[in-house]
Structure formats: C-alpha cells, structure tokens
Structure 1
Amino acid sequence: MPKATLSVAIITLNEEANLARTLASVGFANEVIVVDSGSTDRTLEIAESFGAKIFTEPWKGFARQKNSAIEKCVGTWVLSLDADEELTAELQREIGQMLEGDAEVRPPVDGYRLRLRHVFLGRWMRHGGYYPDLKLRLFRRVASAGAAGFTERPVHESVQVAGRVEMMKNDFLHHGYPELNIYLEHMNRYSSLGGKIVAAKGKVSRSWVAFCWNVVWVPLLTFVWNFGFRLGFLDGREGLLLHLYHSAYISWKYAKAWQIGRYVGSR
C-alpha cells in the first residue's frame, strides 16, 4: 500500500512577514494550497517561491475561506495552518512518521489534535491556561465517518471530525502577536465578531445587573483566575499584558453585544 500523502491548506491576506517561516516548516508536505483574498504585499511572491498552488478568492469569512482551501487539497491527510503558525522540527518528524505508518493503524485515526504554543511579544506563554492549547488541525481528507471541515462561525472556527481523534506529542507555534498594537487591533476586531455571536444568542445584558456582571465582573474574575490561580504571573510582564488585555476583550465583546441589542430594541 502506498504511503499516505499530506496537503497543507493556508489562507492569506498580506502575510509577507509570516508566510516564509510557515512554508519553510512544511517543506516535507506533498502539496501546499494557498487561498489568498487580495494581498497587496509580497505574500503571493513568497508562496510561489515555495512552490505553493495559489488561488485568489474574495473573502467569505474564516470558516468558508478555510474550507475552500481544504476542498482544493488532494492528499490523504490535510494540515490546516494559519499563515502565522509554524511546525517545530519535532512535530514535522512526528507527522512524517504518522504518514509512514498510517496504513497499519487499526482502527484508523481520522484526526489529530496538535499542541499549540502561543508566542506573545516574543515570549512563549507557558501558563495561565494558554499551553498546551489543543487544536484539531490534522485530519484525513476523506474520513471513515464523513468529511472533515471547519464549522461555520464568524470567529474562533474549529475543525469537526466525526471519526476517531488522537493527540500528537509535539508542538506547533503561533507567532500572531509580535507587537501590542497588532494584538489590540485583532482583539478589537474579534470582539466585534464575538459580540455578534453573543447577541445572536440573546445575551445582550438588558438588565443593569447583567450588564455589570458581563462587562465588569466576568472580565475581572477571568483575569484573577488565569493570571493568579492558573499561574499566568509566571510569564512575566508579557503574561500580565496578555491576561489584562484578554480580559478587556471579554468586556468589549459583551459591551458590543449590549450595543447591538440596544439598537435592535430601538427599531
């Protein structure tokens, strides 16, 4: 039986600062699919230099864009990565070994959760609930219990696999926030999307008590729990800033949901 093959699926928009690092870490893959949504920097030039198959499509939302990239893959296995992520050498070897022995695994595995290591302002966040952040990103393209793909959500989309799922031992890295302004910009955007999800569920903090609880107390208690009880303080100044601003993100999310509810209720 022939060795299993690997396709890597990546979506991009102006990722020249990150993409080369990501593509260099998946050089062992049989193909790389890049779906770009209109980059104006060197993203496409970098992707082409690594031999990626490039497709340009209008933005459809995170889940749909990623699913479009997955649909173009032809490998036995698909690895979905963001353009600011990177496989460690250890994980590269582990995936390679899995591909070599895939046909011998019984019952077959249809997906693997990978251990994500967040790097914030250049520092690995080891505590506070950030590690290991398990992500189901490696999955069989045609699974035994049905096809895999990302769920339809405005933000925080995740892969759904119906079959057997295991966990790999080694890490991949997320380099999303090398500077504070990038993190704050992302949290502002994600809190708007998160606010829409919360509002769609009817959680718009209509009462004064609910408003104070969601906008003030939930963020505060989240900070105390993650920074204190889950030892986030051991990650130094970077850990303090991450947990402080993550709590602010929660406050923004519920405040924006309240704002949406107020607008809808006034019509």
Structure 2
Amino acid sequence: MPRSTLSVAIITLNEEDNLARTLASVKFADEVVVVDSGSTDHTVEIARSFGAKVFVETWKGFAGQKNSAIERCSGTWVLSLDADEELTGELEAEIVKMLETGAEIVPQVDGYRLRLRHVFLGRWMRHGGYYPDLKLRLFRRVTSSGDTRFTDRPVHESVQIAGRVETLKNDFLHHGYPNLEIYLEHMNRYSSLGGQIAAMKGKVSRSGIAFGWNIVLVPVLTFIWNFGFRLGFLDGREGLLLHLYHSTYISWKYAKAWKAAVMAGKA
C-alpha cells in the first residue's frame, strides 16, 4: 500500500527567530511550501536551507496568503502551520502512521483537528480554556466537494470541510509569545481586525448600556470565568497575565468596533 504524500504550507514575514524550529519539526514531510510576504531578515534564507520551496508574494490577508500556499502544494494531504508553531515527536509519529495506513483504511476522512498547546512566556497554558485548543490544520488538498481553502476573514481564518473530520491524539506547540512586548503588539493588531469583524456584523449599539456591557462587563466576566471557574489561576503568574491581557483585548476590540461605527455614522 503506497504511503500518502504530505505537503506543509507555511506563510512568513520576518520569522527568522521561529522558522528553523518549525521546519526542523516537519522534516518527514514530502515537501514544504513557504509563501513569504517580503521579509527583510533571514527568513527566506532559513527556509531555503531546509529545502523548502519558497515563493515571495505581496500580502493578501491571512486567508489569501494561506490559500496561495495551499495552491502551490502537490501532496495528497496538507498540513498548515504558522511559522511560530512546532510539532511534537508524538504528533509526527501519529501523522506518519495516518499517512501510511489510516488515509487508505478510512478514505472518507477529509481532515484532522490537532491539539494546540499554547506556550506563553515560556510556560504551557494547561488551564483557563487554552488547552486543548483544537485546530483543523491537516486536511486533504482536494476532497469530493472540491479544493480545500481557508475562509476569507480579516483574522481567525479557518478551513471549511464538508466531509468527515476526526481529532488526532497528540499536540503541536504555539511559541508565539516569548515576551510581553510581542504579545501586546499582537493583541493590538488582532483587536483592530476583530473590531472590523464586530462592526461589519453590527455588534455595535448607540445604547450606553450596551457600550458599557461590551467595553467593561464582558471583559471582566471573561476574566472571572477563565481565570477562576476554568482554573486559569493554576497556571501561575503567567496565567494571570494571559487572562488579564486577553480580557483587555476584548475591551479593545469592542472599543475599536464602536469607533469604526462612529466614523461610519452607524453609532
């Protein structure tokens, strides 16, 4: 029985601090496709040193860039990773086994969710709703319903698969926030994108009560729920900071949605 082929799709921009770790964890793949959007550091050189197929393209948004990477893949299966993510050895072995046997034994499965382990300030966030963070990242490049693609959204893009989806047992790691500066910069950027989505969905009101609810009470209740009831406090000081700043992100998101609506004359 022939082994199914695997392509790894990664998008990059100035990821020299992360990319080598990611590429080292997927050496077993049949090909690695990297779509870069104009890095000014050594990202492209690092990708090529690992034998990746590198393409430099203008930025088209997260979904557009990831779809471009998928289009350049040739494997039966595609594993979509961010440049700051890493497979564990256990997950690698599980994927290899699937490629050798499961893909043919259970051909109706079109995708697999992977268990994401967030590492914040060097600590694995085990509680507070952060683990396991299931992500649909391993999928057939072409299914019976057509080519697999990411949905076009400003942020939190996701893969849509009409067929059967299963969940693998082992983890991959997200090393996105080694320090607070990077985390706060990301939350500022993502809250702007999230605010755009909220404004487009009409989640903005002229009511002062609704404004206070979104800007103040929702963030506070989110913190209490995740840090307290979902045991986020068990992750120590790092857990406290993560949940505190995540709640702040929610406040920023709705504040930016309200401001965008005001500028557009809708609030």
Fold shared by both chains (TM-score > 0.5): yes
Matched residue of 1:110: which SS? Answer: strand
| Bigger mean CA deviation after superposition, 143-152 or 203-212 | 143-152
1:130 aligns with 2:130: yes
1:170 aligns with 2:178: no
Q: CA deviation at 1:250?
A: 0.2
Q: CA deviation at 1:237?
A: 0.3
How many Å separate the matches in 2 of 1:174 and 1:116? 7
Residue equivalent to 1:183: 183
Q: Tell me the amino acid that sits aligned with residue 144 of structure 1.
A: S
Q: CA deviation at 1:147?
A: 2.1
Residue equivalent to 2:230: 230
Q: CA deviation at 1:205?
A: 3.0
Q: Is the 8 A contact 2:232 2:243 kept in 1?
A: yes
Q: Tell me the amino acid that sits aligned with residue 151 of structure 1.
A: T
- Trace 1:58-137 onto structure 2 (pairs within 5 A): 58-137=58-137
Matched residue of 1:166: which SS? Answer: strand
Q: Tell me the amino acid that sits aligned with residue 104 of structure 1.
A: E
Q: CA deviation at 1:48?
A: 0.5
Residue equivalent to 1:144: 144
Q: CA deviation at 1:144?
A: 2.6
Q: Tell me the amino acid that sits aligned with residue 231 of structure 1.
A: L
Q: Tell me the amino acid that sits aligned with residue 27 of structure 2.
A: G
Residue equivalent to 1:37: 37
Matched residue of 1:80: which SS? Answer: strand
Large movers: runs of 4+ above 4 Å: none
Q: Is the 8 A contact 2:2 2:100 kept in 1?
A: no
Q: CA deviation at 1:146?
A: 2.6
Instruction: Provide closer, same or farther for how the CA distance between residues 173 and 264 of structure 1 changes in structure 2, counting only shifts above 3 A.
Output: same
Instruction: Provide closer, same or farther for how the CA distance between residues 185 and 103 of structure 1 changes in structure 2, counting only shifts above 3 A.
Output: closer
Q: Is the 8 A contact 1:147 1:161 kept in 2?
A: no
Instruction: Provide closer, same or farther for how the CA distance between residues 156 and 229 of structure 1 changes in structure 2, counting only shifts above 3 A.
Output: same
**Structure 2 stretches of 5 or more lacking a match?**
none
How many Å separate the matches in 2 of 1:48 and 1:229? 46
Q: Tell me the amino acid that sits aligned with residue 130 of structure 2.
A: Y
TM-score (ref. length: structure 2): 0.98
How many Å separate the matches in 2 of 1:74 and 1:160? 19
How many Å separate the matches in 1 of 2:137 and 2:98? 14
1:263 aligns with 2:266: no
- Trace 1:192-207 onto structure 2 (pairs within 5 A): 192-207=192-207
How many Å separate the matches in 2 of 1:75 and 1:128? 37
Write out per-residue CA displacement over residues 73-111 of structure 1, whole angstroms, 9 at most, x where no aligned residue: 000100000000000000000000000014532352100
How many Å separate the matches in 2 of 1:99 and 1:144? 19
